[in-house]
């Protein structure tokens, strides 16, 4: 069942973005930024976390999950440090994603050249 | 004179709009759904595998994201991810593997201008805005939430 | 008015210079396209065993120039001037190639119209007795252009149906009075025309008004009609741009019918995933130096008008919200 939900929700988010891409002049960069901000907003008003609980990877993997993770980290750190947490928390959860992206991207870039 | 130039431009804009081919909506949406859904299903399998280990919820999510990011980078290196995106469109761009692809693709490309000022400086040329506006947006939303609910909320 | 002028924008040559030699070179994707049989040299590896796409483009250009010289009895030192351009910033492909050649170099930039711009300037020099032999060469490379104008190669981008694929290749021609070859009889240098297209994936649409403007001006200046030519070859409007071009020309009162071909729209086959077709400095250059010249020797065409179009913009200008300007230059090549 969790596989079905992941497929339907994750695919659904991508399909909605495709509809926007095909029907507007927005580039994919615009859409990805919009989706990340949307995830952050939904995280801020407390909707995205339950959504991830329910849909699993279908909500975690789209880039909206990245926006939500930024807010989730801030909220975690705010509990611990107060207002300072707004700054220390930004990369609390997303830091892992960014660090792994930088490390894997650097490693791959050392090994491979562009092809097509 | 000014007005006629303006009219000529807007008339031509209409001609351009009329001649712009319509995207294959149904095919594009179906492929985006399929590719995006498949990546998320794969991620769910990874998620379930990590859930079997004695990890906290946050650690499971983190490990899943790192795995998909690594896969995205490797598939990009093999020269396959752009082909996947050419067909799957947003289905390949929206998942975190696509985020990883933007960083890896930029790193591979700008490597030619040197490791420091090329690869190092320009790695986030596409992914940068997502991080910047995700963070700024998240900051503003969290600030507003705290203003209303207080720090303990 | 100057003796060799005709109408508002056209130059007519008293002693029409001849294209005594031409050479073309391109990669495997171009070989598989519709003009594949007209390309002299096919390189299997578009990167040319070089470390970067920019170096590869330069090497293609150098090689095609050597091949064009080899078809004549001329040495590098016999060439008075080398006129060339390409798409890369500060036309580095042409200027580094010129460094290796040691021929006096006149660098030009007309985006994808550079080949005809160069042919026009070269013909003026030869006709005016300012030069005996002039070399014209242009090049483009998919990887190098994609990096400069668009995105990293491996990025997850779904191209729009209207976007075009930069041709990886190079072409060269030698103009002189000595020897035999198709003659350049007229050149119509075009105005920069901008009807406000802003999207960089609609380059064909941005260039179509310029192509139509130059074509109609050419007909008016030379008092000719489409019936006077065996072929009107535009380049690189692409499938959408050529439709708009035909619409605009029809509004001006000319029907082109089957006489019109667009090198961009025809360059690749439908299954090659090239969007609206080919583009780049090599696109119409391969069309003229490959397809047209070879078909002229075969007797299929006797008199043609080649109308090369260029989109004059940079990534900086469109990011700042400027619209994309177009230009088109027309050249009449006559083998009768």
Q: Where are the domains of chain B?
A: 24-125
The verdict on C224 touching A (C-beta cutoff 8 Å) is no
The verdict on C160 touching A (C-beta cutoff 8 Å) is no
- Kindly report, residue by residue over A38-73, the tens digit of the pLDDT: 999 999 999 999 999 999 999 999 999 999 999 999
Whether the CB-CB separation of C260 and C224 falls below 8 Å is answered with no
CB contacts of B110 in chain C (<8 Å) are 152
The ipTM assigned to this model is 0.94
Q: pLDDT above 90 covers what percent of chain C?
A: 96
- Min CA distance, A114 vs chain C (Å)? 6
Subunits with 3+ C-beta pairs closer than 8 A to B: A, C
Q: At what angle do helices A48-55 and A2-23 cross, to 10 degrees?
A: 120
CA-wise closest residue to C42 among C22, C58, C63: C63
Option in A15, A28, A45 nearest B29 (CB): A15
Quote the longest CA-to-CA distance of chain C. Answer: 56
What's residue B2's pLDDT?
57
Domain boundaries of chain C, sorted by first residue: 5-176, 183-334
CB contacts of A115 in chain C (<8 Å) are 153-154
The verdict on A25 touching C (C-beta cutoff 8 Å) is yes
Question: Mutate which of C27, C142, C154, C197 to disrupt the A interface (most A C-beta within 10 Å)?
Answer: C154
Q: Which residues of chain B have pLDDT under 50?
A: 1
CB contacts of B8 in chain C (<8 Å) are 195
pLDDT at A87 over 80: yes
Q: Which CATH number fits domain C5-176: 3.30.420.130, 3.60.10.10, 1.10.3720.10, 3.40.47.40?
A: 3.40.47.40
Chain B (132-151) residues lying within 8 Å, Cβ to Cβ, of chain A: 133-135, 137-139, 141-146, 151
Please tell me what DSSP assigns to residue C78.
Answer: G
What's residue C336's pLDDT?
85
What's residue B152's pLDDT?
60
CB contacts of C157 in chain B (<8 Å) are 82, 85-86, 93
In sequence order, what are the beta bridge partners of C332?
A: C186, C305
- Rounded distance, CA C307 to CA C285, Å? 11
Whether the CB-CB separation of C184 and C133 falls below 8 Å is answered with no
Record: contact B105-C243, CB cut-off 8 A: no
Record: contact A62-B146, CB cut-off 8 A: no
**N-terminal to C-terminal alpha carbon distance within chain B:** 63
The CATH class of the C183-334 domain is alpha beta
Option in C153, C197, C205 nearest B109 (CB): C153
Residues whose CB falls within 8 Å of the CB of residue A39, separated by 6 or more in sequence, listed in order: A48, A62, A63, A64, A65, A66, A67, A68, B134
How does residue C2 score in pLDDT terms, banded at 50, 70 and 90?
A: confident
SS3 state of residue C194? coil
Record: contact B126-C151, CB cut-off 8 A: yes
Q: Residue C20: enclosing H or E segment and its boundaries?
A: strand C18-26
Mean pLDDT, chain C, rounded, equals: 96
- Kindly report, residue by residue over C200-258, the tens digit of the pLDDT: 999 999 999 999 999 999 999 999 999 999 999 998 999 999 999 999 999 999 999 99
Comparing alpha-carbon positions, the chain C residue that sits nearest to A22 is C160
């Amino acid at each position: 069942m969790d596989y079905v939900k992941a497929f339907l929700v994750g695919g659904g988010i991508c399909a909605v973005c495709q509809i926007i891409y095909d029907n507007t002049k927005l580039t994919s960069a615009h859409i990805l930024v919009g989706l990340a901000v949307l995830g952050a907003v939904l995280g801020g008003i407390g909707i995205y976390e339950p959504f991830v609980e329910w849909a699993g990877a279908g909500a975690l993997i789209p880039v909206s999950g990245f926006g939500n993770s930024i807010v989730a980290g801030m909220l975690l750190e705010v509990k611990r440090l107060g207002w300072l947490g707004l700054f220390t928390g930004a990369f609390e959860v997303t830091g892992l994603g960014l660090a792994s992206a930088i490390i894997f991207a650097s490693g791959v870039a050392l090994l491979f050249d562009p092809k097509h | 004179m000014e007005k006629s130039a303006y009219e000529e431009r807007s008339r031509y804009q209409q001609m351009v709009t009329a001649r712009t081919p319509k995207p294959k909506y149904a095919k594009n949406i179906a492929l985006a759904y399929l590719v995006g859904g498949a990546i998320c299903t794969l991620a769910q399998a990874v998620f379930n595998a990590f859930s079997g280990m004695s990890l906290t919820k946050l650690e499971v999510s983190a490990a899943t994201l790192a795995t998909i990011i690594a896969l995205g980078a490797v598939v990009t290196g093999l020269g396959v991810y752009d082909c996947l995106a050419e067909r799957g469109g947003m289905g390949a761009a929206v998942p975190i593997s696509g985020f990883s692809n933007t960083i890896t693709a930029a790193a591979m490309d700008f490597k030619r201008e040197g490791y420091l000022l090329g690869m190092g400086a320009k790695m986030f040329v596409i992914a940068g805005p997502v991080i910047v506006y995700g963070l700024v947006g998240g900051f503003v939303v969290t600030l507003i939430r705290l203003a209303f609910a207080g720090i303990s909320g | 008015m100057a003796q060799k002028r005709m109408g508002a924008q056209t130059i007519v040559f008293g002693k029409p210079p001849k294209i005594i030699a031409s050479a073309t070179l391109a990669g495997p994707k171009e070989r598989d396209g519709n003009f594949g049989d007209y390309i002299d040299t096919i390189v299997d590896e578009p990167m040319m065993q070089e470390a970067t796409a920019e170096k590869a483009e330069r090497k293609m250009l150098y090689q095609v120039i050597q091949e064009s010289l080899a078809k004549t009895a001329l040495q590098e030192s016999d060439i008075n001037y080398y006129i060339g351009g390409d798409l890369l910033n500060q036309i580095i492909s042409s200027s580094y190639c010129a460094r290796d050649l040691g021929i006096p170099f006149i660098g030009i930039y007309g985006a994808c119209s550079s080949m005809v711009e160069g042919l026009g300037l070269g013909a003026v020099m030869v006709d005016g007795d300012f030069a005996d032999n002039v070399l014209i060469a242009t090049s483009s490379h998919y990887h190098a252009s994609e990096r400069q104008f668009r995105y990293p190669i491996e990025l997850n981008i779904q191209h729009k149906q209207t976007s075009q694929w930069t041709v990886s290749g190079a072409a060269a021609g030698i103009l002189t009075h000595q020897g035999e070859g198709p003659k350049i009889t007229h050149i119509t240098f075009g105005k920069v025309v901008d009807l406000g297209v802003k999207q960089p994936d609609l380059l064909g649409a941005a260039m179509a008004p310029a192509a139509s403007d130059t074509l109609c001006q050419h007909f008016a200046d030379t008092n000719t009609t489409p019936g006077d030519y065996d072929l009107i070859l535009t380049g690189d409007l692409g499938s959408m741009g050529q439709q708009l071009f035909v619409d605009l020309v029809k509004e001006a009162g000319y029907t082109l019918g089957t006489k019109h071909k667009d090198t961009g729209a025809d360059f690749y086959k439908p299954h090659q995933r090239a969007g609206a077709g080919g583009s780049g400095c090599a696109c119409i250059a391969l069309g003229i130096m490959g397809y047209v010249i070879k078909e002229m020797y075969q007797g299929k065409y006797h008199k043609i008008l080649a109308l090369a179009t260029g989109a004059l913009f940079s990534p900086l200008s469109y990011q700042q919200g400027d619209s994309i300007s177009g230009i088109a230059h027309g050249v009449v090549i006559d083998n009768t």
